[in-house]
Structure 1
Amino acid sequence: MSVLATTALYSLIIVLGALLGAVGVVLNERATHMVRFLAFAAGVMLGAAFFHMLPEAYAGGGWWAFALMPAGFVFLLVLERYLVAHAGEDLPGDHMSSHGRPAQQAGQVLGLTAFLGLSTHTLFDGIALGSAVEEGVGFMALLAIVAHKVPSALSLASILKSEGRSRGAILMLSALYGAMVPAGALLYFVFDAVLHFESMAPKALSFSAGTFLYIAVSDLLPHVHRHGKDQPGRNVLALFVGLALMFLLARWVGHPGHPGH
């Protein structure tokens, strides 16, 4: 398939994954192993960044791969900390929020900020997907994004449900959240076509690897640490399983143009 067709197919899979997480909440199904799944997702994202995206970015862009990876990390940190609310905040208390507002009103604000914060991440996931597909490691980016998006969509739907939103509204917002992936991929391809930078794909891939690293170490792992203290060994194992999966895929599948993998 062409790069655009592959990106469209992968985007559809990711959107369906986001909807699947939301449907689980709408149908009142509880994810009993959520923390363990988040640990696994963190391992997959770290593995995708270090074993697939960064090596491919270095092969195509040289030194810039190492310069732009921390740039992606810092950019998303600044964007999240100072421009959008952190989507991983806990739900407000039963009666009053920390700002003295009624819990329902605070919950409605949290639902919108969680949607905006998670959607911002997802937009950059789309940019990562577009550049990864163009560089030949799109399937690895797909695995990492899906592993992250399903539990994130479940969390977003849980927040929206807690503030009393209807099933239709929850599914619509979850679909919009997932749709940020094709929007981000389209944004990448538009910039690539307009700017005509031959080396844009590896540089964008390196930058995206930095955003994957940020999501794993700043969002996923702190949540696992806070809420997974009852079974830390299993959560660490889940993290290493995610890392091992991506490492083995790097060794067995290899990258186009790198037959020695």
Structure 2
Amino acid sequence: MRSLGRRNIGDGLHNFLGGLSIAGVFLLDRRLGIAAWLAAAAHEVPQELGDFGVLVHGGWKKRTALLFNLMSRLTFPVGGLVAYVASLQLDVRWLVPLAAGNFLYIGASDLVPEVNKAHSLKANLLHFVVFAAGLGLLFAIAVVGGH
């Protein structure tokens, strides 16, 4: 039960950093902020549902698990508010690489281990092709955007 509480604190910190980084992206470019927020939501919604299930399966009452999960989720807008207030006095452009690193972390910690479970050549080839297509898309966006 104690390790589940630590997991919830870690999730709260993860959400706070996500709020900081997404707000930083919004402060620089609204369209890019929307894209980053959608990417974060695509990760966070299933993760939070899974966290709730882990807490309940770990012996927590549903009401308690929901309360702790909600408290953890509320750190996301707190991080966003901190980034906004900080932007009034400081340059917050460094939050954009933080957001990028956050998404790289998600890919490396959540997605890559699942890819490594595939044992067939066909599955491995498909994963490589999709990965290469993603890199190609990033490169094309950078070229078209002139960066």
Q: TM-score range by the shorter chain?
A: 0.7 to 0.9
More relative contact order, 1 or 2 (CA 8 Å, 6+ apart): 1
Q: Does 1:151 align with 2:37?
A: no
CA–CA separation in structure 1 for the residues paired with 2:37 and 2:115: 25
1:209 aligns to what? 100
2:27 aligns to what? 134
Once superposed, what is the RMSD of the aligned Cα atoms? 3.3
C-alpha displacement of 1:154: 2.6
Contact residue 86 and residue 92 of structure 2 kept, 8 A: no
CA–CA separation in structure 1 for the residues paired with 2:7 and 2:129: 26
The aligned amino acid for 1:112 is G
Deviation string, structure 1 residues 80-133 (Cα, Å, up to 9, x no partner):
xxxxxxxxxxxxxxxxxxxxxxxxxxxx12211111112211111000111111
CA–CA separation in structure 2 for the residues paired with 1:164 and 1:233: 37
| Percent identity over paired residues | 21
TM-score, length of structure 1 as denominator length? 0.45
Question: Structure 1 stretches of 5 or more lacking a match?
Answer: 1-107
- What pairs up with 1:96-107 in 2 under 5 angstroms? none
Contact residue 115 and residue 127 of structure 2 kept, 8 A: no
C-alpha displacement of 1:165: 1.6
C-alpha displacement of 1:179: 1.3
Q: Does 1:191 align with 2:81?
A: no
Count residues with an aligned counterpart: 141
TM-score, length of structure 2 as denominator length? 0.75
CA–CA separation in structure 1 for the residues paired with 2:130 and 2:83: 30
SS across alignment from 1:147: helix
> Per the alignment, do residues 119 and 131 of structure 1 end up closer, same or farther by CA in structure 2, a change over 3 Å counting?
same
